[in-house]
Structure 1
Amino acid sequence: MSSAPLLRVDGVRAVYGDTVALHGVSLDIAHNEFFALLGPSGCGKTTLLRSIAGFETPAEGRIEVEGEDLLRLPAHKRPVNMMFQSYALFPHMSVEKNVAYGLEADGIGAAEVRSRVADVMDVVGLGPLAKRRPTQLSGGQRQRVALARAIVKRPKLLLLDEPLSALDRQVRASMQLELKRLQHEVGLTFVVVTHDQEEAMSMADRIAVLRDGRLEQLASPQELYAHPASRFVASFIGTANLLDGTVTAGAVEVPGFGAVIASHALAAGSPATAVVRPEDVELTADAAAAALSGTVVDTYFLGGATTISIEMPGHADPLLATVHGATRLERGARVGVRFGRATAVAREAGAGAEASAQVPPVAPEAPAPQEEVSA
C-alpha cells in the first residue's frame, strides 16, 4: 500500500436541522484497502458514505482523494462510484447492457465498451448470463451485475451501501468471500457500510466503528475483537460477557466474581468492565472444587461449537461459554467456571444498558425480499 492515504476524511461534521449526524469524524483509508463503516442504525455511517459520494454536503470538514478536495466537485465528477443497497438495475435491459450503461453515458467508444464489459463480466462470473434480464437472475447474480457496473468504470474508490442486506443468509455468506476475492483481483479500494458486525469482520482489512455520529474505534477486526476500546465496541463486536465492576488494587473487581483481570492502566476506584469472550470461559465438571460455579440454563448447538448459558449466583445476566463440538451438559447441571483471557475497558457514566452478553442465533434467517428498481 502507498504510504499516503487514498481517502482522507478530516473533521467532517454533518447536521440535519437540530440533529448532528456526524461530530467531526476523521479517518484515512489506504490504497487497495477493504474498509468497513460499522455501527447501529442512526450512527452516521450512511451519512459519511453519502458525503464521500457527493450526495450530502457536510457543514464542516474536508474530504480528499489523493489530495484533491472532493467537496469542490459535484457527485458525477468525483473519482468514486457507489453501489446502492437496492442495486438499482434497469429491468428492461440485459445484463451486459446494464453493465455498459455508465460507460456509454460517459461517451466511451463502442469497441472499448465491449472490451471492458467483457473483461469485467468474466471477473464476476457473469459471461454466460450476458443476455438475461435482471428479473431472470437470483439475488446473488443481481448483486454481481450491480458490482460489475460499478467496477467497469474503474473508479479510484468504490462505495457499497449495505451491499448484501437483500440476500438470504447462505447466499450472503458466500458473497462475503466473493466480494473480498473481487476486491483483491480488481485492485480497487472498497468502502462498505454495514450494521452487520459479522459481515464487516469477515471482509474488511480495517473497521471504523461509529456510535451516535462519533468514531468509537478504528482498527483491524482482530484488534477490535481482542482489544475493544470501549464497552460499546466490546458489546457490538462479536459475542461478549460484560462484567461491570470497579478498579481495586490494580484489578477489576466484579461483585460475585472477585478480581477478574489485572488493570494497571485504569485509575483505582474508577468504574470498569471486564470483557470476557465466551471461548475464554473454561468449564469444569467439579463445581464443588471451583472458586466460581454456576448452573447450566441452556445450550445452543451451532455445528462446530456449542454455546452454554450459565446462571451465576448474584449476577442478573447469564454467562456465556463456548466449547468445541457438542456437549453432554444438561439444563440444571452444576459447573465450575474459570476465566482465561479477558480485557478491561473503562465504563463511562450511565453505561451498562447494553445486554451483558449477546446470544448467537440458532435458527437460520428467513430470506429477505428482493427489490426491483425501475429505470
Structure 2
Amino acid sequence: MTTAPLLRVDGVRAVYGDTVALHGVSLDIAHNEFFALLGPSGCGKTTLLRSIAGFERPAAGRIELEGTDLLGMPPHRRPVNMMFQSYALFPHLSVERNVAYGLEAEGVGAAEIRRRVGEVMEAVRLAPLAKRRPGQLSGGQRQRVALARAIVKRPKLLLLDEPLSALDRQVRASMQLELKRLQHEVGMTFVVVTHDQEEAMSMADRIAVLRDGRLEQLATPQELYRAPASRFVASFIGTANLLDGRATAAGIAVEGLGEVPVPHSLAAGEDATLVVRPEHVVLAPVAGASSAGVLRGEVVDTYFLGGASTVSIEVAGLPAPMLATVPGTTEFARGAGVELRFGEASLVSRDPAEPGSVGTSIPTSAMPAVPADQSASV
C-alpha cells in the first residue's frame, strides 16, 4: 500500500517579469521526511520554499498539503512554519519569551504555553539559557532559539531557509547533526533550502537538485553521488573527474584517451560523460612497461586533508588533471610518475532533455580502465 505524501508540488511555475524562476516543478515530500532543496544561487529553490509558505503566488500549478490546496490559503492559515535565514529574534525578549511569542499571539493558555515552551527548550538544549537575551548568545545558540520558536507551534511542515549559513564552519557541522537529531525526535517534516551540497548530503533523507528553475534530479544522497542523472548533478554533488566523450558500440570514446569499454544503453554517437570519483581512482608508482587497463600520468600536487590526501595528476590528452583520494599522507611526491586505474564510476548522457532518465552506476567489476594500447602517458 502506497502512503500518500504529506506535500505535493505539481507543475509549479513562477515568473518575475520576463524571468521564469520555476519551470513547472513537480515533487512529493513524505511524512516525517528531512527534505532538501539544493542548487546554486538563482536556481529557484527559495522561490519554491516561499511558494509553499505562501509568501509567493505561483503563476501556475498546485501545492497540496495532505490533499488540501494551499494556494488559496493565506500564509498565517497554513499549517506551515518558516525559519528565516536571519533568525529574526526579538532582542528585548528573553529566550523563553522569544520561543513563546507565537503561542501568545495565538491566544494559547498560559499553562499550555509554559508546558510546550519547556518541552521544546529541553529538546533544543536551551533550558539553562531561558532568561538570557539574544545578544548574550552565540550564533549557534541563537539558531536554536529560532528553531525552537518555529517548532513550538507544532506545524505539519517546517521550512528552513539557509538555516546554517550565518554560522562558522565548526558550529555549522555541529548544528547539522543537531538538526537531524531534532527532526527525528520531534517527528516533524523538515524542508531545508541550501546551496551547500555537503550540508544537504549530511542531513537530508532525499534531495531535490534544482538548476535554472528546473528539477534536475530527486533522489537520496547516496543515489545522487553514485548515479547522477546529468553532468550538472555529477559536478555539483561532491568532487568528480568528468571525462566527456561519445557512446560507441562497446563503450565511451573519450577524446585524448580513446575508447573506454563500459556497459551502457546509450545510442551510438550520443554525447556522454564518464564520472569517476577521486576515491575510485587507484594509484600506484610506475612499474615497468604499461599493462592493460592502466593510464599513466605525473603528479602535479598533493593536498593533505587530515584523514586523507588528494593527489592531482596530469594525464596527457586530458584537459584537466585527474584527482585521486588516498588515505592519510601520500607517498606520491610532486613530479612522480604514477599509474591510474578506474574503479567504480557513473555514466551520464550530457545534459539530457529529461534529467533523471539516463544516469547509471557502473560497478567496479564492470569498469575497466582504458586499455594499455589506447592509454596516454607522460
Normalising by structure 2, we get a TM-score of 0.91
Aligned CA-pair RMSD: 1.3
CA 1:131–1:235 in structure 2 vs 1: closer, same or farther (change >3 Å)? same
2:305 equivalent to 1:308: no
2:337 equivalent to 1:334: yes
- Identical pairs, percent: 79
Q: Which residue of 2 aligns with 1:359?
A: none
Structure 2 CA distance, aligned partners of 1:302 and 1:173? 16
Aligned-partner residue type, residue 121 of structure 1: M
Structure 1 CA distance, aligned partners of 2:287 and 2:232? 32
Q: Which among 313, 320, 325 is matched to residue 323 of structure 2?
A: 320
Q: Is the 8 A contact 1:241 1:276 kept in 2?
A: yes
Structure 2 CA distance, aligned partners of 1:252 and 1:55? 47
CA 1:261–1:181 in structure 2 vs 1: closer, same or farther (change >3 Å)? farther
Structure 2: 5+ residue stretches without partners:
353-378
Aligned-partner residue type, residue 255 of structure 2: P
Structure 1 CA distance, aligned partners of 2:3 and 2:345? 34
Q: Which residue of 2 aligns with 1:57?
A: 57
Structure 1 CA distance, aligned partners of 2:287 and 2:143? 52
* Higher relative contact order, structure no. (Cα contacts within 8 Å, ≥ 6 residues apart): 1
Q: Which residue of 1 aligns with 2:299?
A: 296
2:119 equivalent to 1:119: yes
Q: Which residue of 1 aligns with 2:132?
A: 132
SS at match of 1:100: helix
Q: In the TM superposition, what whole-angstrom CA distance separates every residue of 1:103-138 from its partner, at most 9, and x where no partner exists?
A: 000010111001100010000000000000001000
**Aligned-pair distance for 1:286?**
2.1
**Aligned-pair distance for 1:287?**
5.1
Q: Is the 8 A contact 1:261 1:342 kept in 2?
A: no
SS at match of 1:259: strand
Structure 1 CA distance, aligned partners of 2:288 and 2:273? 27
2:275 equivalent to 1:275: yes
Structure 2 CA distance, aligned partners of 1:14 and 1:246? 36
**Aligned-pair distance for 1:243?**
0.4
Structure 2 CA distance, aligned partners of 1:10 and 1:59? 12
SS at match of 1:98: helix
**Aligned-pair distance for 1:248?**
1.3
Aligned-partner residue type, residue 248 of structure 2: T
Structure 2 CA distance, aligned partners of 1:32 and 1:178? 16
SS at match of 2:198: helix
Q: In the TM superposition, what whole-angstrom CA distance separates every residue of 1:110-167 from its partner, at most 9, and x where no partner exists?
A: 1100110001000000000000000100000000000000000000000000000000
Structure 1 CA distance, aligned partners of 2:270 and 2:288? 33
Output aligned runs, 1:176-325, within 5 Å: 176-286=176-286, 288-290=288-290, 291-325=294-328
Q: Is the 8 A contact 2:246 2:272 kept in 1?
A: yes
Structure 1 CA distance, aligned partners of 2:140 and 2:263? 47
**Aligned-pair distance for 1:263?**
3.6
CA 1:23–1:287 in structure 2 vs 1: closer, same or farther (change >3 Å)? farther
2:349 equivalent to 1:346: yes
Structure 1: 5+ residue stretches without partners:
350-375
Runs of 4+ in 1 over 4 A off after TM superposition: none
Aligned-partner residue type, residue 19 of structure 2: T
CA 1:170–1:9 in structure 2 vs 1: closer, same or farther (change >3 Å)? same
Number of corresponding residues = 349
